[in-house]
């Protein structure tokens, strides 16, 4: 029997990548069930908004007559576009909270996958906190990229660790923000490299799954002679795009492993726990009692 993944341990660069997929492989069905139960509503709502937006863009593209520059902007930045953005943030926050809550309960239960009902108890406690923090981190990183790009690159690993700290340590915004930079001290390059590779893999999976969706959406919107099938192609393409968001669980798990690696480097909580468990086990070993 393959031993269940231990989170609280030191890991090299390659081990972080490998253990990310090992954890997914060992807990694929429970993770997928949690994703469907807790993220399904936001994915479905975003999917409906996305379909309405894409159909609206198709109608405006195919409408006769030209439009002014302001009119074209109104055709792009519609109310449905606003809904797509909002539900995208909502679904990403839900995915992050559900995955990190799954990991927290997995550790708490002794490497046993939790049920969606157990994850829900954590989810409803952390969701709005993480949702508001997602908006802040998005604006913060965007400002960093605007100012000469380098600040945004520097901030990205810290903002990635921000959410695991908030959920796994049950902390407030200010503490999680400062602790993320503290954990990165002298470990920025290794952590940033691991996070970058994990995100590249996740986006490669996402892009690979989304290619048919993009082809169908573009064909249904721009190609003439497909009027009878265009709406169906746009709907199918949008559905595939939103379902492929399940791959975004990969970087959440990878960043959580980076967080535990950094805490082990600086504080060794996992080593301390194993020493304590070893001592307790030794004290209660059958056959060693005093007579």
Among 65-79, 115-129, 244-258, where is mean pLDDT lowest?
A: 65-79
**161's tokens:** 């660790």
pLDDT of residue 276: 58
Q: What is the pLDDT of residue 277?
A: 59
Average pLDDT over residues 71-94: 81
Burial 130-167 (b: 16+ CB within 10 A, else e): bbebbeebeebbeebeeeeeeebeebbbbbbbbbbbbb
pTM confidence score: 0.83
Express each pLDDT in 240-289 by its tens digit.
Answer: 888 888 999 999 999 999 999 999 988 766 555 655 555 555 444 333 33
User: Of all residues in the chain, what percent carry a pLDDT higher than 70?
Assistant: 78
How far apart are alpha carbons 178 and 116 in whole angstroms? 31
Q: Which of 19, 27, 165 is nearest to 109 (CA)?
A: 27
Q: What average pLDDT is seen over the chain?
A: 82
What average pLDDT does range 148-156 have in this prediction? 74
Helix 173-183 × helix 116-146 angle, to 10°: 70
Domain spans in the chain, listed from the N-terminal domain onward? 14-61+76-269
How far is Cα 89 from Cα 85, in angstroms, rounded to an integer?
6
Distance CA 38, CA 90 (A): 11
The answer to whether the Cα torsion of 252, 93, 241, 160 is positive or negative is negative
């Amino acid at each position: 029997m393959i031993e269940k993944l231990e989170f609280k341990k030191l890991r090299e660069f390659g081990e972080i990548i490998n253990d990310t997929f090992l954890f997914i492989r060992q807990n694929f069905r429970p993770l997928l069930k949690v994703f469907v139960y807790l993220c399904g509503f936001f994915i479905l709502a975003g999917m409906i908004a996305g379909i309405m937006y894409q159909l609206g863009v198709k109608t405006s593209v195919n409408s006769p007559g030209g439009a002014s520059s302001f009119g074209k902007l109104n055709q792009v930045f519609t109310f449905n576009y606003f809904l797509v953005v909002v539900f995208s943030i909502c679904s990403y926050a839900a995915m992050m909270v559900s995955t990190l809550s799954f990991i927290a309960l997995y550790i708490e239960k002794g490497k046993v996958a939790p049920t969606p009902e157990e994850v829900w108890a954590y989810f409803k406690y952390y969701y709005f906190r993480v949702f508001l923090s997602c908006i802040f981190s998005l604006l913060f990183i965007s400002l960093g990229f605007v100012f000469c790009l380098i600040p945004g690159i520097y901030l990205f690993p810290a903002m990635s660790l921000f959410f695991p700290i908030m959920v796994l340590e049950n902390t407030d915004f200010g503490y999680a923000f400062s602790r993320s930079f503290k954990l990165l001290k002298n470990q920025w390059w290794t952590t940033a490299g691991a996070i970058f590779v994990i995100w590249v893999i996740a986006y490669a999976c996402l892009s690979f799954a989304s290619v048919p969706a993009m082809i169908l959406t573009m064909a249904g919107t721009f190609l003439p002679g497909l009027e009878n099938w265009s709406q169906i192609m746009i709907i199918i393409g949008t559905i595939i795009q939103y379902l492929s968001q399940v791959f975004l669980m990969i970087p959440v798990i990878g960043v959580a492993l980076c967080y535990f690696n950094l805490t082990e480097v600086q504080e060794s909580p996992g080593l301390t726990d194993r020493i304590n468990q070893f001592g307790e086990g030794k004290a209660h070993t059958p056959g060693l009692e005093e007579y």
